[in-house]
Amino acid sequence: MRSAIVVFTKVPKAGETKTRLTTDRGGLLTPEEAMAFYEGCLLDVINVCIEAKSGDIRVCYNHDGDREYLEKLLSRISDRSQIKEVYPDQGGNFDQCMQYAADYILKNGASERLADSVIIVGGDLPSLQPSILKDAVCKLEQLASSEYGLKVARKIDNVSQKLGAGLVEGACQEGGFSVVGFTCTTPFDFNRVFYNSDGITALDMLVTKAVQQDIPFGIVEAASDVDIPVDLASMIPVVRALELAARYDKSIKVPVNTIAVLNELGLETTAVTHR
C-alpha cells in the first residue's frame, strides 16, 4: 500500500497564526512570538515525518498563504529533498480544506492517485514522534487487509480488491484529533467533522462516521496540539522530558526548533503551590 503523509498547515504570519496565544486574546505572546513558536512546531513536525520514513511527504497550506515565505521556512528542515510536493488548499471552512488535502492525494481512487492511503497531521504538534506515524501506517495497512476492511471497501476501478477500508486517528485534547488517516476505498469524508450544529466534537464525529459505515477503526498514541495558553503550559514540560529521554532512547525525535523558541522567549511552566 502506497502511503502519503500530509502536513496540513497555515503559512505562519504574525497576527494570523496562533492568535489565541497572544496578549490580544488573553495569552502571553506577541503576534511575532506566536508566529515564531508555530514556525518551530511546524519545522519539528516535518522533521518527524522525514524521520518516520512512512510514505511520501507533502505539505498542504492555506490557499492565500505566502508560498515564497513557506519555501524559505522549508529550507530549514532536515532534508528539503524529502518533501515530495507543496500544494495549496482551495479555501473554505476547515472541513472543506482538509477534505481537499486528502482528495488531492487519493483522487477518489483514480489511476492517477498519488497514494493508496493518506495520513494527515497538523503543524502544531511538538510532541509528535516518528513511532506514532509508523504505527498509524501499520495499523491502517492491517485494517485495510482485514476481513472487515475488505467487506466495507468502496469498489473502484483500477484499485485492487485487496485494498480495503480503514480509518485511524490519534487524539488530542478537548475531543479533537491530531492525526487522521484512511485509504482511498474508505467510505469517509470530513463533512461536519469540525463544523456541525449539534455540538459534537471532532473526535466523536470521526467515531460516529466509522460506526455508521462499519469502517474498521484504529487508534494511535495521542499528540497534543497547542492552541491556547493552557496547551502551551502543558506542552513545555513534555518537550523538556522528551529532550532528556532522548539521551537514553535514540528513537525519540527531540523538537529542537520548538525548544529553541521556548528558550529564546524564556518560557517556563510553574505549578500553583497548595499549603
Decide if 137 is inside a domain.
Answer: yes
pLDDT at residue 272 tops 70: no
Domain of residue 141, CATH code: 3.90.550.10
Alpha carbon dihedral 68, 72, 74, 76, in 10-degree steps, equals: 180
pLDDT digits (tens, 9 = 90+) for 117-156: 999 999 999 999 999 999 999 999 999 999 999 999 999 9
If one counts the domains in the chain, the total is 1
Decide if 21 is inside a domain.
Answer: yes
Half-sphere exposure of 130 (CA within 13 A, CB side): 17
Q: Say what the pLDDT of residue 268 is.
A: 81
Decide if 273 is inside a domain.
Answer: no
Decide if 274 is inside a domain.
Answer: no
- Domain assignment of residue 104, given as a range: 3-265
d(CA 45, CA 40): 9
The per-residue DSSP string of 45-110 comes to HHHHHHHHT-SEEEEEE-TTS-HHHHHHHHTTSS-GGGEEEEEE---SSHHHHHHHHHHHHHGGG-
pLDDT digits (tens, 9 = 90+) for 202-259: 999 999 999 999 999 999 999 999 999 999 999 999 999 999 999 999 999 999 999 9
Decide if 201 is inside a domain.
Answer: yes
Decide if 271 is inside a domain.
Answer: no
Decide if 29 is inside a domain.
Answer: yes
